[in-house]
Amino acid sequence: MLEIKAATGDLTGYETPALIVNLFEGVTSPGGATGAVDRALGGVLSGLISDGEITGRMGETTLVHTPSLAYPSFAPSRALVLGLGKSSDFGVESVRRVTAGALRRLEQASVKRAATIVHGAGIGGLDAGESAEAIAEGALLGVYRFEKYKSKGDEGSGGRLESLTLLDVDPAKRLVLEAGIRRGAAYAGAAMAARDMVNEPGNRFPPSRMAEVACSMARAAGVECRVLDRDAVEELGMGAYLGVAAGSDQPPKFIHLSLMGDVGNPSNNLWMIGKGITFDTGGISLKPPGGMSAMKGDMAGGAAVIGAITALASLRPRINVHAVVAATENMPGGSAQRPGDVVKSMSGKYIEVDNTDAEGRLTLADAISYARSNGAERIVDVATLTGAASIALGRGQSAVFGNDDALTEAVIAAGGRRGEAMWRLPLDEASKKQNKSKVADIKNTGGRPAGTITAAHFISEFAGRTPWVHVDIAATSMADSTDGVNPSGATGVLARSLVQLAEDLASG
């Protein structure tokens, strides 16, 4: 993994294959660290700005080779000028995005080591620690690759950057930079752990393997891990969850991770529940074959909560955090549940299974009941629940629902701080009626209209009066192409937001 460290001293005298500096859009005469580099290079950067080759547009990268014979007063072998965009639009998310792009550009040039100034810590208005955190987060997320099953790596992707040094001229800032790097690495680690799980193929990542990975990560982080097998789940009466698992030869695994950051105050808790369908065929209501391979990622919500709680172990907020994943496959085996079946949930409610491809909400129903029976005071569930979410909101933001305004706003705000946009949709009475069943207490689908909303209504029935938020990440858990901190493939969405949420709730 990329090593990130801090150092202080003269920027122009620091020996490195590449030094990253920056420029805001519209600036014609660079100042600060970029100005110092420009002077050491005899005005080369100013000349490129005058020629229009360097504009400062967001994400623009200009690589300037600086051989020592031509520029004896400049030690780095290259200077990469990074566009920060308009200063009025600048913030920590800008730092994450441009850092990710800059490092990918250096990897294309096969650069192994690089150094960077602390973006935005001057006229950008960020403090050094905040910027260091964003740089570390953006760097790690930006150079992430999943190459586990490529024997020769990804041809044409360039080399792998091995180390990045954050440079500042002020020696007093080193400890601040190092603290920011540690925080950024923890947040990025949450998302990368989630990405690793989501990118795994279904045959390599059945429920048992997901439980093994979760417990291995938990033990390494000092988090308690408990896994319930089929018999234990049956004793708890989780008929909705077991109905989904009935068609698979792979045994279900109910994963419960606990991090007690406020042992003396058990009611100060947050329960994060993630959908954990390790492969979703749709069951008897079989999905069409086109795109079904992506259903290996139907456990992205579960991956997010596992990544989040293990990252929180290093940050230690004063709050008790639980992560729950009811892991199973949804397969059309001979013992699979059928459309029209009725199952009894842990809550005692009877559910008509109108469509076996609406399986995630069935597992969430029992997972939420489990959380409530164990004293949950706040519940946030994360699920790749409905294709309708992308129809409603596109792929730029996740859909959010909640029965508690304060908790819902806290979730959205946490996502905003980490660049994971969400948009709240209503839980209206008209769409709620679509879930009514003629033979049971409720049915698991309300038809095509308002599909994302009726799914949330179904889950809300099991949350009851407990403050609860549901985040549908079906449209945001996978990316078709590289953008900002997200590579093509799994994004690890919501893992960082959940870490931020726990820290926000702990701080009051």
Catalytic residues: 287, 361
Cβ within 8 Å of residue 412, ≥6 positions away: 400, 422, 424
| Tokens 């001293």 found at | 9
Distance CA 371, CA 363 (A): 13
Nearest one of 167, 97, 86 to 124, comparing CA atoms: 86
Instruction: Take residue 353 and report the two structure tokens written for it.
Output: 């299974």
Neighbours of 15 (CB within 10 A): 11
Instruction: Take residue 45 and report the two structure tokens written for it.
Output: 């950067």
Helix then strand count (H, E) for the chain reads 15, 19
- Please tell me what DSSP assigns to residue 393: H
Query: 33-72 burial by CB neighbour count: b if 16+ within 10 A, else e?
Result: bbbbbbbbbeebbbebbeeeebbbebbbbbbbebeeeebe
Question: CB-hemisphere CA count at 13 Å for 452?
Answer: 26
Cβ within 8 Å of residue 360, ≥6 positions away: 275, 277, 280, 298, 383, 384, 385
Backbone angles phi, psi at 190, to 5 degrees: -60, -45
Residue 111's identity, in one-letter code, is V
Q: What share of the chain is helix, strand, coil (3-state, %, to 5)?
A: 40, 20, 40
- Please tell me what DSSP assigns to residue 292: G
Distance CA 396, CA 412 (A): 14
Cβ within 8 Å of residue 328, ≥6 positions away: 207, 241, 244, 245, 248, 250, 252, 253, 276, 277, 278, 363
